[in-house]
A = this chain, B = another copy of it.
Amino acid sequence: MLDINSQINKQIYLKSSPKDKLTKENFELKESKINHLDNNQVLVEVIYISIDAANRAWMQGRTYRSQILPGDVMGGYALGKVIDSKSNKYKVGDYVEGDLGWQNYSIVNEAELIKTSIKSSENLHMSVLGITGKTAYFGLELAELKKGETVLISAAAGAVGNVAGQIAKIQGCKVIGITGSDDKAKWLIDELGFDGVINYKNDNFVKDLRAICPEKIDVYFDNVGGPIFESVLFAMNNFGRIICCGAVSQYDQAAPQNGPRGVPGLIVTKRLSLKGFIVMDFEDKKHEAEKQLMEWIDNKQIKPAEDIIIGLENTPSALIGLLNGENKGKRMVKLIK
């Protein structure tokens, strides 16, 4: 039998808090021995680490979780398998999800884990069936889409955005994406069926938006915040809904900039509603969402889009690249020994 405590654990620590843009120098890789388990703890071998823009926000301060500070193992949502257990709830071989961190092995209290059954492939469980796919699903549920409405989605080529766009198409909406490269724009239209895409790095975002949505916007699924959020506010229809899912444009910098003009003035005159949400609040409805998403995948109505990077040592650059808009679809890091 494997002597677990003789294994070496590789761990990526936050070495210093980024002052502005995140760099590789903010991280360091260390090796350590694996501690013995206390009661109610389990040892998990990490399989896939989810790379999310929110990881960067965790370094800015307290969000829905505590701030990650220099000297902490870098936090990260991940999928893993129990390889040792002092918990009555988990046995060796169970698949689990949670904040396992950027490391090969994670010791976690049972209360911090969610048991998972893998109904399809492990990677699909990290993308469309994972937290990002479910984020798209529950966010659009809050939007109460009606057939024929115009839905605008920022960070449209990202893990959440691409699924949100595909779901809105299934529901009979006109779907416009916002992205940062012509290559991603083409991919969204040709491969995923978006009706139109705006490259926000082009000259005139506001003009492009007006040209592509002359009927204005009924639902804005916002992943970015910042200046794009402000511009879109002015292009919303009366009684429009804005789903606030993230603010990636604000994460990779020192401190949040000024907020968007038009708040709250335009919210009043246009009778807008804005709703913030976090997927973890919908835990009790996740099986329903997974079932529906699986059905859409089986019917070829959703094409999974994944961007898999191999090796723990590449996790920092995977996140830095994601913050710079490198990825198409769900980025994740697969750990191999």
Contacts and interface: CB of A to CB of B under 8 A. Distances in A.
B264 A63 contact: no
A262 interface: yes
A331 to B, nearest CB: 20
B258 A259 contact: yes
A52 to B, nearest CB: 13
A260 B274 CA distance: 14
A265 B277 contact: no
A265 B262 CA distance: 16
Contacts of A250: 265
B260 A263 contact: yes
Which of A262, A265, A272, A275: most chain B Cβ within 10 A? A265
Interface in A236-251: 242, 244-247, 250
Contacts of A242: 264
Interface size class of A (residues with CB under 8 A): 35 or more
A274 B276 CA distance: 9
Interface stretch (A36-44, A222-230, A320-328): A222-230
A200 B230 CA distance: 27
B276 A281 contact: no
A258 B259 CA distance: 6
A216 to B, nearest CB: 14
Contact of A261 (B245, B256, B272, B281): B256
Copies in the complex: 2
Given A258-B258, A273-B276, A275-B273, A246 B268 contact: yes
A271 interface: yes
A276 B264 contact: yes
A257 interface: yes
A121 interface: no
Given A222-B264, A259-B260, A274 B274 contact: yes
A221 to B, nearest CB: 12
Contacts of A258: 258-259, 261
Nearest to A272: B276
Contacts of A32: none
A264 B64 contact: no
A88 interface: no
Q: Which 6 pairs show the lowest CB-CB distances between chains A and B?
A: A259-B259, A267-B276, A258-B258, A274-B274, A244-B264, A259-B260
Interface of A: 57, 63-64, 222, 225, 229-230, 242, 244-247, 250, 256-278, 281
8 contacts: A225-B264, A244-B268, A258-B259, A266-B276, A267-B276, A269-B278, A271-B281, A272-B274
